[in-house]
Amino acid sequence: MADRILQLVNDSFLDQYYQKALECLKKLREESVKAQNPDIFNELMDKIKRTMMGNRRNDFWGIVKAEQINMISRLECSNSRITDDVIEQFFGERDEKKAEEVHEADEEDVDDLVFIIHCLGGGIFCGFP
């Protein structure tokens, strides 16, 4: 199910499948707690954060964050390796700074792309052979 959730998000045109992915994510979390098997869900949440925050699917990460879909801690499931400290830091300020840095880098890429398009569209070859 974890792979399917990622596929829904990544195959989505804009936010087309986000709601379905969120429903699946919430259900996977619920069932993981019931089954006392939080590892798959926690690994998925870590992967979502690492791969989507500040990237092309940052909007999905923002929804996950806004809905406070968090990792499963020891407080909810005794089999979890996730401490309360990790839970508190999961949506922390440190992540916001990383996202801002990536956003700034994306803006520079856009500026470079606009320059190239302008050069090619204007009939100027920009000095490239």
Joined together, the tokens standing for residue 54 give: 């500040």
Q: Which of 23, 22, 93 is nearest to 57 (CA)?
A: 22
pLDDT tens, residue by residue, 17-59: 999 999 999 999 999 999 999 999 999 999 999 999 888 899 9
Look at residues 71, 60, 70, 72 and name the one whose alpha carbon lies nearest to residue 7. Answer: 60
pLDDT in tens, 56-105: 899 999 999 999 999 999 999 999 999 989 998 988 754 455 555 555 55
Global confidence as pTM: 0.70
* Higher local confidence (pLDDT), 105 or 14: 14
Q: What is the pLDDT of residue 88?
A: 87
